[in-house]
Structure 1
């Protein structure tokens, strides 16, 4: 026994078969040893080993000399958290026992405040990139709502243009004029040209080239189909008792509508063939068939409206089941199959400011990920200006993105995922166990602020435009013991309320489009985009109408009423001066909102000089009876319903009937007998004049 004590006092460790040399009480007192005070660098353990030498975990020693060093190694690695902190501060752990007794190894439980990523040195070495601290130094800790946060530096809002519609506020824009900002005569002319080329390429027999006037009429029916849904397209033209929808029959025949739909094309077919030959190469453009109309709609969205300060970026699904490589499947979306778009919208009203089509096989240009490139591509800073606040969800949020936006004088806010690379500090278990609703923890890293908030589940936010806690509260429902429900105020971080208020810009735009969507079933993927572009143009033009009405202190129209007027004016587009010049007709402009009521009400509209000239040319001896505008003998059987159509003198719809005596084109259909109304008004005017 004396020899063993001498060996321990001399710095030697016992043999593997250890025996207790003191009482159990002494074992408990000496089972854990505290780190010794820092001494000079020449100090060492009692066995004479150098404290600066690294220790490597090895096998159990076979000799007494080997057991001395390996025993220390095992003791060193048995304290996981303390060993890492000791190496970081250049401290050594010494065996301090007054009797030189052995130290019994025990596994020490990790304290609750210990980070999860410090579980073991081996695990820490494997996940070195995840263990990188977010903030280096003593300030790297999560704080509570009671600790004050510094006010972030906000950039002044300096837009490149005055936010709102970029139109003449002194002018009264009609519904048609607002829509023509997106589908102008040049845009429709390009659409007609490519459609005619596509019909010629298909060798369609008897296809009459589409004119600008006829394409506007086609768009009126397409928008009308979004207002009134039936089972099949042919039901719009069925004249039976169950349907009897006269609008489409008065604008265009079903055969003509189907012919235009079948040949509809947005790009030049010759350019498409050249592009198809480049498949598999870098020069192949996968969006070639929608590029002309897409670029024109995007240019109009950017030119005629400037967004306000708060913007949102999110994904949008354009529903489609066409076979194409761009089609995506997203389980969480209302429409699981379709084409994914990245959309930039104004959070104030849902105006679609910009959008990009998701390219699944497109590599990241910046090398920072597809989500990073998507946000940067949508934000044209010279066009927008600085001081904007961008709201995104956890798919886009990253520390790299927010720092780069901050460098460009743009603020950002959004939810964030804990597994983002470089966010080791966010992964710490900062929430206390069983935290109640409303518990807040926050961590600041320069311009970045990370907040954790306990709602029904933990919510993690990242922002560069908010303080951690500004004494904000939200209302949450709570179930009482008697089974009833009540609401109670719950503390919430400042980013939470702003995120809930401004993140829904794209969702608002989607809901406005979905209300009266013009989308139809089609096997051609590019026609799906055509219908979506029409929806975007109608919704954006209606939003501008609302802003213009507020500026003039007038009551704006609802979207349904706006679309109804747009359908009527598009059907009467031939009366507008721009289209008349293209057709070479010399007719004076008439109001496009003239309609004849079913009860045969009198119209108080003044007739122009041309009508007076037609009245003077009445042939004597002829009766006022309806006759076809063109001799049916000279017309082919398949064209009798449309050949020789003229504009009705009252309602301005197309008709093949005219008065034999007055030579005036007038409608004769069940719900609109313009022939009778015009002659009754003519007789009353003659009696009044006499």
Structure 2
């Protein structure tokens, strides 16, 4: 609303006996402003006149009697609504002014901030053993069926004369081939089916035309039901929403670690999209920006794709304050974090604000992050220009109490001046750290405050996730933004499954020697060759047969064994006779036999006393 329109309203509400006396009933040259109905319904002693004549010359401020703010707001809202516009109800971000900072040190007892939750995994997670089972825990059968259903519907919409029929088993094989391509890189997709440099496993899994047909019609939501842009309820991530919600729900089901970190992530792309962002500090600058809540291990518990719509007031739950665009990211990601369990959240200076620290502390969640000083005025710290003149290792701290919450701000000079803010740790006690002095050309010892040590120890969860994903990434080119993000979520799911696999092994006391490359290879072979869905057995898994097979693999003359899900899928394991006898490959069996499994390609004996063929495929 323009300033002239607001001034016209104020003039209409002004009480001026002189103007009323001067106005004549038959005067039609003057403009007349009629008040809304709700204002006319008030008693005479509580309202102004129903119509007030506005003279051509605008009166001065001394001639006007200013109405109450609530009355003006009600009039503005009614006039905007009558004009067909929505009133601006956007609340202002929460701010704290006149905070009294003073020199001091934050001291919090260990019992006060001790973690009250549990990081132990439940029995249904401990029952998982193979890479396929860990992957299928996150990427469930319901999600596979949803993707198959929407892909078939999309093919009918695009080519009704020649629709496709996609089954969950074929979709699993498509994902398996995609994961295999992330391990072995060739110039293009069709190269994997070449006779010279192609992969035999890929060629045996599905023809190249079937693979490209699935990739062409891969879809996740009904496009005909999407709300058009500009209308209420429109979502920019509608095409990928089922995948995001399903995977995030599974990620959140894993018990949270005590220390969590929030940071941005980039899905690199060269395609054109309104979602593409530029992040100058990332190795790859252009791509889709995501916000991730991760543990110290690199496990992603919650992922949010940046679209520009997340900070709208209608998307914010009732009772959740507006802390600013950057701080609201932390609040949204931490909705899954339980209150009063004393989790610790770490983030960088993009997110750190004083209202965020206070809000999270009132929920029983402690925070620590680097700080931009212009966001918190009045800090009792030296300016950065003065701090640069001090020797390396100089530290200053000030504290304040905001809404009964103790907050500490620490400035420390290393190569540069860094400022941090926390609600549970301060500068004391300091610790000696090694730094290289360029002037003296030697390693020296400098004082480092505790807050810096704690921050460096727990902040790198999202960066660790990025480094793990960058080793083996699905890099198939596509012009569709939601397909590119789908590949990204596949990589996040596989890394989460691998980290969970290591976490289960550590809790059960099992020595885990499977690397990420071996995990992805086992998963890809299982997805390509498995015939039936695997239902985990109740209780803890039996590692006797699998452990003995691993020992046999270490021998130079040992045969190549199929992955456990393929070995136990009970599909097309036909016994075939060989011309020569070979040693039975079942552990602890020393017999020789002519029978081998056609699918697994291992020799297994069948006699009247024992059946190694049956035991190999069941145990």
Give the TM-score normalised by structure 1: 0.62
Do the aligned residues in 2 keep the contact of 1:330 with 1:337 (CA within 8 Å)?
yes
Q: In structure 2, which of residues 121, 139, 142 is the aligned counterpart of residue 165 of structure 1?
A: 121
Q: In structure 2, which of residues 200, 205, 219 is the aligned counterpart of residue 251 of structure 1?
A: 205
> 1:234 Cα shift?
0.9
Q: 2: distance between equivalents of 1:602 and 1:307?
A: 38
- CA distance 1:201–1:239, change in 2 (3 Å): same
Do the aligned residues in 2 keep the contact of 1:414 with 1:462 (CA within 8 Å)?
yes
Q: In structure 2, which of residues 217, 222, 226 is the aligned counterpart of residue 263 of structure 1?
A: 217
> 1:456 Cα shift?
1.1
- CA distance 1:480–1:239, change in 2 (3 Å): same
Question: Are residue 476 (structure 1) and residue 476 (structure 2) matched?
Answer: no
2:373 maps to 418
Question: Are residue 359 (structure 1) and residue 307 (structure 2) matched?
Answer: yes
Q: How does 1:362-511 map to 2 (within 5 A)?
A: 362-365=310-313, 366-380=321-335, 383=338, 386-420=341-375, 422-423=377-378, 425=380, 428=383, 431=386, 434-446=389-401, 447-479=406-438, 481=440, 485-511=441-467
- CA distance 1:608–1:201, change in 2 (3 Å): closer
Do the aligned residues in 2 keep the contact of 1:364 with 1:370 (CA within 8 Å)?
no
Unaligned runs of 5+ in 1: 1-129, 580-589, 619-623, 625-649, 652-663, 683-690
Q: 1: distance between equivalents of 2:509 and 2:502?
A: 10
> 1:359 Cα shift?
2.4
Higher relative contact order (CA 8 A, sep 6+): 2
> 1:442 Cα shift?
0.9
Question: Are residue 339 (structure 1) and residue 288 (structure 2) matched?
Answer: yes
1:582 maps to none
- CA distance 1:423–1:613, change in 2 (3 Å): closer
Q: 1: distance between equivalents of 2:224 and 2:561?
A: 54
Q: How does 1:200-219 map to 2 (within 5 A)?
A: 200-203=156-159, 206-219=162-175
Q: 1: distance between equivalents of 2:450 and 2:424?
A: 10
Q: 1: distance between equivalents of 2:354 and 2:370?
A: 11
> 1:254 Cα shift?
0.8
Do the aligned residues in 2 keep the contact of 1:340 with 1:358 (CA within 8 Å)?
yes
Q: 1: distance between equivalents of 2:310 and 2:250?
A: 26
> 1:547 Cα shift?
1.1
1:323-345 superposed Cα distances (whole Å, 9 cap, x missing partner): 32222112122221111111100
2:255 maps to 306
Do the aligned residues in 2 keep the contact of 1:418 with 1:426 (CA within 8 Å)?
no
- CA distance 1:471–1:601, change in 2 (3 Å): closer
Do the aligned residues in 1 keep the contact of 2:384 with 2:417 (CA within 8 Å)?
no
Q: 2: distance between equivalents of 1:153 and 1:602?
A: 52
Q: 1: distance between equivalents of 2:370 and 2:520?
A: 37
> 1:486 Cα shift?
2.0
Question: Are residue 551 (structure 1) and residue 500 (structure 2) matched?
Answer: no
Q: 2: distance between equivalents of 1:504 and 1:602?
A: 38
Q: In structure 1, which of residues 322, 329, 332 is the aligned counterpart of residue 278 of structure 2?
A: 329
- CA distance 1:159–1:199, change in 2 (3 Å): farther
2:269 maps to 320
RMSD: 4.1
Q: 1: distance between equivalents of 2:200 and 2:208?
A: 12
Q: Secondary structure at the match of 1:512?
A: helix
> 1:200 Cα shift?
1.5
> 1:233 Cα shift?
0.7
Do the aligned residues in 2 keep the contact of 1:522 with 1:528 (CA within 8 Å)?
yes
Do the aligned residues in 1 keep the contact of 2:128 with 2:134 (CA within 8 Å)?
no
- CA distance 1:213–1:450, change in 2 (3 Å): same
Q: How does 1:550-629 map to 2 (within 5 A)?
A: 550-556=506-512, 557-576=514-533
1:283 maps to 233
Q: In structure 1, which of residues 515, 519, 528 is the aligned counterpart of residue 484 of structure 2?
A: 528
Question: Are residue 295 (structure 1) and residue 245 (structure 2) matched?
Answer: yes
- CA distance 1:157–1:149, change in 2 (3 Å): closer
1:496-526 superposed Cα distances (whole Å, 9 cap, x missing partner): 1111111101101111111111132210000
Unaligned runs of 5+ in 2: 1-94, 314-320, 537-544, 586-595, 607-619
Do the aligned residues in 2 keep the contact of 1:266 with 1:293 (CA within 8 Å)?
yes
- CA distance 1:204–1:334, change in 2 (3 Å): farther
- CA distance 1:427–1:360, change in 2 (3 Å): farther
Do the aligned residues in 1 keep the contact of 2:429 with 2:450 (CA within 8 Å)?
yes
Q: Secondary structure at the match of 1:356?
A: strand
1:537-596 superposed Cα distances (whole Å, 9 cap, x missing partner): 1111111110111122222111111111111111122044669xxxxxxxxxx99x9999
Larger Rg: 1
Q: 2: distance between equivalents of 1:530 and 1:442?
A: 46
> 1:169 Cα shift?
6.7
> 1:393 Cα shift?
0.2
- CA distance 1:223–1:488, change in 2 (3 Å): same
2:38 maps to none
Q: Secondary structure at the match of 2:330?
A: helix
> 1:611 Cα shift?
9.5
1:221-266 superposed Cα distances (whole Å, 9 cap, x missing partner): 01111111111111111111xx142111011111111110011011
Q: 2: distance between equivalents of 1:570 and 1:610?
A: 14
- Number of equivalent positions: 474
Q: Secondary structure at the match of 2:226?
A: helix
- CA distance 1:472–1:280, change in 2 (3 Å): same
Q: Secondary structure at the match of 1:400?
A: helix
Q: 2: distance between equivalents of 1:537 and 1:545?
A: 12
Q: Secondary structure at the match of 1:477?
A: strand
> 1:206 Cα shift?
4.9
